[in-house]
Amino acid sequence: MRYLHTMVRVTDVDASLDFYCNKLGLEEVRRIENEKGRFTLIFLAAPKDNASSAANRAPELELTYNWDPETYTGGRNFGHLAYKVDNIYETCQRLMDMGVTINRPPRDGNMAFVKSPDNISIELLQEGEPLPVKEPWASMPNTGTW
């Protein structure tokens, strides 16, 4: 058995790609437009997973856009996606500077949560050992749900 991908449905391709690629840092690796089925599949990979994605089509995030409008609820019921980052503080600051709410700040130097435009929780974890606890993160409150 081998992990392949996680699929999340999205309602706005541009907003989703802006979040996942421009803000979070994933890269689009392939796209499938299915006119008969009226959907688009967009596969993304983290930069450090690009070689594996090219060779194995895994691990990836599949964004599914159904061309006919639908209302999706329960983003938190899905659970969350998780990515390791090189520096949790720099990543959170960069996301905040681009207008992303840090729902659970990295108070412990190790873990933070943000949400996609479709309310999918994204867990960010520090690569290696947690960074030393520091402000403003240590005293920053949670915002919303995560």
Residues with a catalytic annotation lie at 123
- Name beta bridge partners: 81: 122
89, 131 contact by CB (below 8 A):
yes
Q: Which two tokens stand for residue 123?
A: 């867990």
List C-alpha distances in Å: 55 to 46, 52, 73, 105: 14, 5, 34, 35
132, 87 contact by CB (below 8 A):
no
Please state the φ and ψ torsions of residue 32, each to the nearest 5 degrees: -125, 120
105-130 in b/e form (b: 16+ CB < 10 A) is bbbebebbbbbbbbbbbbbbebeeee
